[in-house]
Homo-oligomer: A and B are copies of this chain.
Amino acid sequence: MNETETEPAPQRGTVTQRAIERIKAMIAEGLLEPGARLPTERELAAQLGISRSSMREAIRALTVMGVLEARHGSGIYVTQLQAGDLLENFGVVADLSRGPRLVELLEVRRILESTATALAAARITPEQLAEVERHLAAMNATDDPEEILAHDLAFHREIALAAGNETMAAILEGLSSRTFRARVWRGYQEEGAFARTRREHAAIHRALAARDPEAARAAAAAHVGEVEEWLRAQLGG
């Protein structure tokens, strides 16, 4: 391979790795706006002087990171680079963590969730509060664990959104991913924790309706803390 005669650092790592950095840099520098369409795979490969296979791997990597989006038959596009896009695969952390790692994850969630709930108490709109109440009611109206879980997730998601920080909401979404919750809660709920959970959710809602940030923070921290303590005991014993 030839190089530009004066370049002392032609190749750092693998070809694919370089392609990833190049495209990432292009986006960081603003050469590629969010939503913009990239050249075709074949063209990109030619531009960087690599094979289409390697370019495809680079694109796959950026797709996983949530930076690019490939639409079959249409083209490759830059995502909106919203928090949700970039944190979409954050859930795998929760899905593949085990043992002490799970407790750490719940501790992080407790910190963020309590703060988010406190913020939400101050900022939530009547419409959002109504939505929260809807999920709360639906959660109490059924005994199907699947449905309860779904409304539970939606309940907290709505609160996180009401906090006004989309990034935090996206992170919490990952920390509460469906499979994660299902895994941890399977045992937790079997111990008849339904009643306790309902009480805690009611307390959170009460604090939100009263616009009391401190009460909301405490209620949310206790809510997550309950699960955290249970899980800690599971591991310890």
Contact = CB atoms under 8 A, between A and B. Distances in A.
Contact of A24 (B67, B90, B92): B92
A159 to B, nearest CB: 15
A96 B61 contact: no
Nearest to A163: B107
A97 B85 CA distance: 11
Contacts of A95: 24, 28
Q: Is chain A's binding surface mostly helix, strand, loop or mixed?
A: helix
A209 interface: no
Interface residues of A, number: 40
A181 to B, nearest CB: 14
Contact of A64 (B53, B65, B86, B171): B65
Interface in A138-174: 165-168, 171
Nearest to A78: B96
Interface in A154-198: 165-168, 171, 179
A61 B98 CA distance: 21
